[in-house]
């Protein structure tokens, strides 16, 4: 029964898919199906959705509580989102992971190595950074890219993991606005599977109250003083500012 349910969901999304037209053919049926799921799992509420720019590139920076976080973001956003995910997810061969990675690719998502910035500083071959180059091209082309800056799913959402500096790196190179955000309670509804176990795509809890908050856009140049000459120091300053913004959003809801 469990296997049949997962396959049924996968078929529904497959019927909605058309990669040739970005967000036009399949977005409406996707939002209808996702809306039903989130209605029973949530309710799902959102604040600050007006902060998403109507045009132009933007970088969405969120916390990471569950494997469905990028799906929640795409469901809420009025524009097409390209999620940036860790490479390990695409190598996971469980059924739940396969369905999730297929959906991420359907959204125009792509994988990236979490240690790419360190490797770049060490002079490793640029072919290791296909995901980073794709993110750069998408942002410069006026698209929206979403990143879960903690790098992995945080099993203790009460305290954020240290944000990866790659977020600030991309914001500096592209000059696009950065919109920080917080996803609340997704880890309760769709918790990460214990290490070594297959990931289920079915919710574990219902009616716990899902919430997503989008902050106002901010630019890298506004966060880093012009006197900062070393790029690494500037990236560290901006990364800390992004993390503090996400923490503030999460704590404002908890309080």
Alpha helices, DSSP H only, in 83-162? 87-91, 95-106, 116-121, 130-140
Residue 4 is predicted with a pLDDT of: 47
Does the structure show a pLDDT above 90 at 88? no
Listed by start position, the domains of the chain span 2-254
CATH code given to domain 2-254: 3.40.1130.10
CB neighbours (10 Å) of residue 199?
Answer: 19
Angle separating helix axes 95-106 and 69-76, nearest 10 degrees: 30
Does the structure show a pLDDT above 50 at 8? no
CA-closest candidate to residue 209, choices 158, 254, 168 = 254
Contact status, residue 157 vs residue 211, Cβ threshold 8 Å: no
The mean-pLDDT minimum among 6-20, 56-70, 128-142, 187-201 falls in 6-20
The mean-pLDDT minimum among 115-124, 128-137, 184-193, 210-219 falls in 115-124
Q: Per-residue pLDDT averaged across 77-106, rounded?
A: 71
Does the structure show a pLDDT above 90 at 151? no
Residue 35 is predicted with a pLDDT of: 82
The per-residue pLDDT for range 16-61, each reduced to its tens digit, is 444 444 555 667 777 888 888 888 877 889 999 999 999 999 999 9
Across the beta sheet with 58-62, the strand order is 44-47, 210-214, 178-184, 58-62, 144-148, 81-86, 110-112
């Amino acid at each position: 029964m469990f296997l049949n349910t997962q396959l049924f969901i996968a078929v529904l999304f497959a019927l909605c898919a058309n990669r040739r037209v970005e967000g036009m053919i399949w977005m409406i049926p996707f939002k209808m199906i996702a809306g039903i799921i989130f209605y029973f799992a949530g309710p799902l509420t959102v604040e600050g959705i007006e902060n998403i720019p109507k045009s132009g590139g933007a970088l969405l920076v969120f916390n990471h509580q569950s494997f469905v976080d990028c799906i929640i973001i795409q469901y809420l956003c009025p524009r097409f989102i390209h999620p940036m995910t860790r490479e390990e997810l695409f190598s996971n061969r469980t059924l739940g992971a396969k369905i999730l990675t297929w959906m991420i690719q359907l959204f125009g998502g792509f994988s990236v190595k979490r240690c790419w910035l360190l490797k770049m500083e060490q002079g490793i071959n640029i072919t290791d950074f296909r995901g980073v180059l794709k993110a750069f091209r998408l942002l410069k082309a006026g698209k929206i890219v979403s990143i879960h800056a903690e790098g992995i799913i945080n099993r203790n959402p009460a305290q954020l993991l240290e944000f990866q500096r790659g977020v600030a790196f991309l914001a500096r190179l592209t000059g696009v606005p950065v919109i920080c955000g917080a996803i609340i309670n997704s880890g309760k509804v769709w918790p990460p599977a214990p290490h070594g176990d297959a990931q289920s795509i079915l919710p574990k809890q219902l009616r716990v109250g899902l919430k997503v908050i989008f902050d106002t856009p901010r630019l890298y140049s506004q966060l880093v003083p012009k006197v900062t000459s070393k790029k690494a120091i500037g990236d560290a300053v901006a990364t800390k500012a992004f993390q503090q913004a996400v923490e503030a959003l999460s704590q404002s809801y908890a309080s």
